[in-house]
Structure 1
């Protein structure tokens, strides 16, 4: 009887060993559709149009359906990830920090974008109307400064944090500090006079939110001027959940990483490439959590300030 049991155990162990590689490669059986979230930096139709080449590339490379998940707010994408409704998301640095906190650390950063010069960051800026006479932060005393969204890195957390570090307490120094809802809405509000200034982002002086709005004909060139710039912010990461198969995570990360070279035309469309751009985004590099810990620390500081107020 002992021999029979031993033969049964050995056979079971052997079957498990044989099945193990198949299980490791079989994530597509459980995930025939991969859901990828995007933050609301532009209107929904523009976002869907711009992400179409990436979606097509991933579907062809991975052999699964890919669904683009869009939410009306940063929090919508974060909560969808926390609720296991989406598997991946392209997040800003602050939104990644929010997702890390909301999921008790159950998210992992994978890739971030890299520019031609090797840089992996961008800048928060404050903009005003060029004809307003407002050319510095000091000029904004008692004026209305619009932040973009509470979970926006460049549109709220970084400018707020750095303004305080430079001696300006936004809630006291400015007349009002409303949220516009999005970067484009903030810039539009400056142009039409709703806000005296707005916080947004740019990679450099020729590529950013207001520059793209000029290219799209949403605002006239020369109406918006930058009056303040933050230190460099590490670009936000493609983020995944910790509870996904490692093979799936690596396959998707590798597919996204290969997108710029696999489909150069699609990549150029996706990144709004301008041939005149001196320092375009050219691809992705791997990142880890340590690159974003300071953002989590900054958010904790901001929460503490809110509690005090």
Structure 2
């Protein structure tokens, strides 16, 4: 397992990107992203609620709705209990590209991903960085079958690789960056195919399933999705930075297929929660106060009876700033994604 980034990829300095040829990745997609990207999410989008006061639409991190919605159910219950004059609803965008247009067109009020915040921080008011189980960090990781010949990043050359969403920090951007740092030619990825290997982009769950179904030699995902597929015998080989700062180690070895990790990123700051600046309502700050003042005891009061307490989505928010996300900005620039596109 490679642990060669613990020093070189520590706290990174923000580069101005002047020597990097950037590509406008989402250009032209905004017109259709609002309707197509939020299609099939369920529930009303924006507007005023008829029963619980003002309707507040909160966009969750893109993924499989059947997996994402239950994880954030305690947050929804807490907000609807503690915030007067608001009816909070959750939506699950089909991809990251749909989030910014939904906020700009005022079809949603709250988001929780770093890429959208980075793309235009001047139109967002930041609530804070997400904290779960005492940690404000998570990890990107690369996984391969137990009997795979792939042992390190350079072995990905000539292979097929499954990624999550093209704009996923942990499921795409960090992996492409580290493969590029290892000397592989990523070409115009994630917009187009890499030159030194073949890539596919879906979501975190599907990336794992592509490996399970022999459609990919390996996958990139985030720790909360990847740890359950790693047998316990590999836990002793995890880098110290992972064992100290991951909040998902309790899930190790709980799901099939069994996969072996070959690389972990350095600790990535968890997603920021933010609201669009054009949303003018006293509810806006009240929601922020409830989120920031939450703790484990408070949020646990809103757990459904069948809630997976080993894989919580939220405990509280920690104060943050754009400096926290400089390592993400650096990697977006390095792989040619213009955050302002």
TM over 0.5: yes
CA contact (8 A) 2:100 2:116 kept: yes
Pick one of 72, 76, 84 that aligns with 2:106: 84
2:171: which partner in 1? Answer: 155
Which of the pair is proportionally richer in helix? 1
2:57: which partner in 1? Answer: 35
Residue correspondence of structure 1 range 1-309 to structure 2 within 5 A? 32-41=54-63, 43-63=64-84, 64-91=86-113, 93-98=114-119, 100=120, 105-116=122-133, 119-171=135-187, 174-179=196-201, 181-202=202-223, 208-212=224-228, 219-220=255-256, 223-245=258-280, 247-259=282-294, 260-266=296-302, 272-274=308-310, 282-303=315-336
CA contact (8 A) 1:271 1:281 kept: no
CA contact (8 A) 1:124 1:230 kept: yes
**Aligned in 2, Cα 1:270/1:192: closer, same or farther, shift over 3 Å?**
same
**Aligned in 2, Cα 1:140/1:35: closer, same or farther, shift over 3 Å?**
same
CA shift for structure 1 position 51 = 2.4
Q: Secondary structure at the match of 2:275?
A: strand
CA contact (8 A) 2:56 2:109 kept: yes
CA shift for structure 1 position 200 = 0.7
Q: Secondary structure at the match of 1:112?
A: strand
**Aligned in 2, Cα 1:35/1:300: closer, same or farther, shift over 3 Å?**
same
State the alpha-carbon separation in 2 of the partners of residues 165 and 246 from structure 1: 46
Unmatched 5+ stretches in structure 1: 1-26, 203-207
**Aligned in 2, Cα 1:280/1:250: closer, same or farther, shift over 3 Å?**
closer
Q: Deviations over 1:202-243 (max 9, x none)?
A: 1xxxxx20335787x99526x211111112211111111122
CA contact (8 A) 1:50 1:270 kept: no
CA shift for structure 1 position 256 = 1.9
TM-score, with length taken from structure 2: 0.66
CA shift for structure 1 position 54 = 1.6
CA shift for structure 1 position 87 = 0.7
CA shift for structure 1 position 190 = 0.9
CA contact (8 A) 2:154 2:182 kept: no
**Aligned in 2, Cα 1:112/1:232: closer, same or farther, shift over 3 Å?**
same
Q: Secondary structure at the match of 1:170?
A: coil
Unmatched 5+ stretches in structure 2: 1-47, 188-193, 231-250
State the alpha-carbon separation in 1 of the partners of residues 196 and 298 from structure 2: 48
- Alpha carbon RMSD of aligned pairs, Å? 3.4
CA shift for structure 1 position 159 = 1.4
Q: Secondary structure at the match of 1:226?
A: strand
Q: Looking at CA atoms only, which structure, 1 or 2, has the larger radius of gyration?
A: 1
